[in-house]
Amino acid sequence: MNTSQDGILLSFQPIQGMRDASPLELRVKNEVINSVSKLLAENGFEMADYPIIEPTELFVKKSGGDIGGRLYSFVDPGGNRVSLRPEFTSSVIRSFLLERSPNAGMRRQYAGPVFRYSDGKYTNELKQFTQIGCELIGSDSLQSDVQILKLALQAVSYTDTPSVTVRMGNIGLIRSLLTGQGLNETICFFVLSNLATLRAGVMSSIELVKRATDLGLVSDLQGQKDQGQQLLDKEYIRSHLSENLSGNTGRRSRSDIINRLVAKENTKVDAKSLSKAIDQLTLFLKIVEGEVGRGQLLDIRNEFGEEVQEKINELISIIEGVEDFESLSVRYILDFSTNRGLTYYSGLIFDISLDGAGDTVVGGGGRYDGLVRMLGGSEDVPAVGFAINVDSLLSSGAQHRFTEKK
């Protein structure tokens, strides 16, 4: 039972992680949103609105399950599994698939509340907060990456924040390193999902390999199976499944199903190969991660080859392409293991945090060329975007620059 300072009984309090906004707070928030929206409109991004409630599967497919535990999900009276939106990107891509013309791109901006459950570990973490951001769909140019990062920084500069840190990496580069060591897409997905915990020391490489083995993602055998082993596996599968596959098996024959299962088993990565790939990745991160400035060159072609060198050069080029801001000091750090889910990103990824405010992350974005196909499209479509958490930005002490921006 709660009582106010004057003894009046208070029956209800806001849910932890959700809060009221006073008229002044709302005015400041709307000033920031309006300034950023005007900036995005000047760069060709049209404002659109999207449902607060969407099918749960839309968000689960996009995140690969990473966000599943943070969704506010329920079954509606019609029996549909739905969720309050935790972000906007999924809805923008869904809308793109419904309305796009052949070979047409799209520039959309959005603003509104999003909802993410948290367990209260961080007392100041909001479960409902306002996002404003944009998505650029249809361009794979490096200049598009530059524009998105620049717009995100300009959005933050509309407050009186004096300095920020941009942590950035390239997920396509990480995928190239892993596939170059013989890992398949499933294992790459697994490593990316656990990269932050691996880098933070929460989990060792040995523990990660053991976890992959326990999940059946890798085999205990060292190297590829020889033909005799493959035949033994095939006979085992045939004898084990013969009774279960009796009768109607659909379009595929019994032998086809068996052969597909054997092929899948033989593409498994062995534990030794996974351990080697993780060691190589760890070495790469030790060499390249850290603060980087304009004009700085990182020559790693001897250790990792020309393809990796080219992607590192692209990151440096993005930094070079973002002009200095009069009112905002920006520090760049190469960091390939941000705290956000990484699995659906395909290239550039970045987070923006406020210096001197507990390193509060107030926004981020990146490239996700495979998301259109992941959500039901027939092909990959290049796309890149960013979103700013307006509530985190303002709760960190930043205020809108009323006099300068009016």
SS (H, E, C) 120-141: CCCCCCCCEEEEEEEEEECCCC
Cα(95)–Cα(51) distance, integer angstroms = 11
Q: Which residues pair with 137 in a beta bridge?
A: 106, 383
Cα(250)–Cα(38) distance, integer angstroms = 56
Q: CATH for 10-160+385-406? A: 3.30.930.10
Question: What is the predicted pLDDT for the residue at 232?
Answer: 43
Write the pLDDT tens digit of every residue in 253-281: 555 554 554 444 455 688 888 999 998 88
The domain ranges of the chain are: 10-160+385-406, 218-267
Write the pLDDT tens digit of every residue in 191-218: 888 887 887 778 888 999 998 888 888 8
Amino acid at site 5: Q
Query: What band does 188 get if pLDDT is binned at 50, 70 and 90?
Result: confident
The single residue listed with the structure tokens 């749960």 is 56
Q: What is the mean pLDDT of residues 149-171?
A: 92
Q: What is the mean pLDDT of residues 356-374?
A: 88
Angle, alpha carbons 333-294-344 (nearest 5°): 45
Per DSSP (E only), the strands in 87-215 are 106-115, 128-137, 163-170
> What rounded mean pLDDT belongs to the chain?
82
pTM: 0.81
Q: What is the mean pLDDT of residues 15-34?
A: 92
Amino acid at site 177: L
Question: What is the predicted pLDDT for the residue at 351?
Answer: 95
Half-sphere exposure of 222 (CA within 13 A, CB side): 2
Question: What is the predicted pLDDT for the residue at 240?
Answer: 46
CB proximity list for 33: less than 8 A, separation 6 or greater:
111, 130, 132, 390
pLDDT exceeds cutoff 70 at 14 = yes
Cα(243)–Cα(262) distance, integer angstroms = 17
